[in-house]
Structure 1
Amino acid sequence: MSISVSIIEDDQNIVDQLITIFGASSLCRIQGIAVNGEAAQQLIVSHPTDVFLVDLGLPDADGVDLVEQIKRHDPHAHILVLSTFGDAKHITRSIAAGARGYLLKDEINNDLIKKIVALHNGGSPLSPAVGRVIVDSLSNQTPGSVCQVPEANVAEMYQLSPNEVVTFKHLCAGLPITTIAAMMCISPHTVNQYLRHLYRKLNVHSRAMAVAKAQKIGFNYEH
């Protein structure tokens, strides 16, 4: 089954380019196209879609607001930003709003199909320049000045259940399994079940890796 893709973009040249790219592939199909904010809002609520391609620079809407609206309407939708903006502010706002990929428009080519498939399968395609901005932003932070991300955002980002979020916090705080079980009023066996699900969703394989992931994303696990 092909991946359904909705396009939110006001530049007709970019739209035509995307139509050509998708028309040459059997892996993706265009579900809908919106060229302004009003049409985008209608598209979001009326056309269930696997992947949304969102332009940030619409004439009558903030693309980041549309990203947030997509995630509220369908938390499972995948969002890929296509933008001319490559600065840290636009990138971080988009990711915080729910985008899981960010590509610059001058890099749109036939490889876009592969990147959409990767996004649909859980990946986070980024333009090299965007990746550098993110790394530079992180490296410029002073020690201990990690931006704290709310639990709800972490839960949405990795599709964690409430119990998995609590387990994540206790695990990163260094508590042993038996203590976690006692605090959550469950058995150690159940804690281990939560941990297996947690490790799989975070794509880690140990407590140390989970702590490193928490620090990387700014998850506040202090009690």
Structure 2
Amino acid sequence: MPSPHVAVALVEDEPAVRERFVQAIAANPQLRLLHACGTGASMQRWMADHAVDVLLVDLGLPDLPGLEVIRHARRVQPACEVMVISAFGDAAHMVQAFEAGARGYLLKDGSQDELARHVLALHAGGSPMSPIIARQLLGRWRAQAPAPPARAQPRTGGMEGLSAREHDVLRLVARGCSYHEAGACLGIATSTVQAHVRSIYAKLEVHSKTEAVYEARQLGLLDC
């Protein structure tokens, strides 16, 4: 019978920070901490014999790069979701972590309640990110995205294309951000994000997020 708890493991070398994370996980009845350690090698040895749902990884470990711990976790436990919790908020670390296999990226300055909420969101299929990380990711998308081809215009005659703000909202939602997280990233209210989503649905002639993302990709509106 499946466990009612989300099993979590944590590797963080700073004892005070590690204890704060341990307390955050212990305070949430939906989470269960199975292991916490301060080195990458210790976590790799532990994962050889123990399954875990979510692994929290600090990038600046004393013995191994956190990126190597992420890659190892993805190899030995493909079902395990990995989230970075780091002091590094620059684009280079962010991109390297996602390329290594992380699905979420949080900065260490978040609250205990936020950490627990993001762990649950990751386990549920989301990609939690601190607002500054999401903002940098959005900036990279906008800088790298080619000009939309002519076929990207909605097919219905007379229907307007998506606005720049609707493009931003759609990219963040497609990446797994909640409406609240998308609003925080873009500096707008959650209700405004919801209004943009309704407009996107109408313009793309769809009725769900999954349909919207699929249709947008078919039309060339998304490059992710």
Structure-1-length-normalised TM-score: 0.66
Tell me, what secondary structure is at the counterpart of 1:89?
A: helix
- Partners of 1:214 and 1:74 lie apart in 2 by 34
CA RMSD of aligned residues (A): 2.2
Q: Which runs of structure 2 are paired with 1:10-49 in the superposition (5 Å)?
A: 10-49=13-52
Query: Which residue of the other structure, out of 117, 120, 127, is the alignment partner of 1:114?
Result: 117
Letter in 2 for 1:64: L
Letter in 2 for 1:114: R
- Partners of 1:106 and 1:61 lie apart in 2 by 23
Letter in 2 for 1:74: Q
Letter in 1 for 2:43: A
Indicate whether 1:211 and 2:218 are aligned: yes
What residue number does 2:67 align with?
64
- Contact 1:33–1:43 (CA under 8 A) maintained in structure 2: no
Structure 2 CA distance for partners of 1:209 and 1:139, relative to 1, 3 Å: closer
CA-CA distance at 1:141 after TM superposition? 2.1
CA-CA distance at 1:34 after TM superposition? 2.0
Q: Which runs of structure 2 are paired with 1:181-220 in the superposition (5 Å)?
A: 203-204=210-211, 208-211=215-218, 215-217=222-224
What residue number does 1:86 align with?
89
Structure 2 CA distance for partners of 1:206 and 1:121, relative to 1, 3 Å: closer
Tell me, what secondary structure is at the counterpart of 2:74?
A: helix
Structure 2 CA distance for partners of 1:212 and 1:42, relative to 1, 3 Å: farther
Letter in 1 for 2:127: S
CA-CA distance at 1:207 after TM superposition? 5.3
Q: How many equivalent residue pairs?
A: 161
- Partners of 1:135 and 1:91 lie apart in 2 by 12
- Contact 1:32–1:47 (CA under 8 A) maintained in structure 2: no
Letter in 2 for 1:29: R
Q: Any idea what the Cα deviations from partners look like across 1:151-203, whole Å, max 9, x if unmatched?
A: xxxxxx9xxxxxxxxxxxxxxxxxxxxxxxxxxxxxxxxxxxxxxxxxxxx93
CA-CA distance at 1:10 after TM superposition? 0.4
- Contact 2:145–2:223 (CA under 8 A) maintained in structure 1: no
What residue number does 1:105 align with?
108
Tell me, what secondary structure is at the counterpart of 1:203?
A: helix
Letter in 2 for 1:35: G
CA-CA distance at 1:208 after TM superposition? 2.7
CA-CA distance at 1:213 after TM superposition? 8.0
What residue number does 2:144 align with?
141
Structure 2 CA distance for partners of 1:136 and 1:206, relative to 1, 3 Å: closer
- Partners of 2:8 and 2:220 lie apart in 1 by 30
Query: Which residue of the other structure, out of 62, 66, 74, is the alignment partner of 2:77?
Result: 74
Structure-2-length-normalised TM-score: 0.66
Give unmatched runs, 5+ long, in structure 1. 145-156, 158-201, 218-223
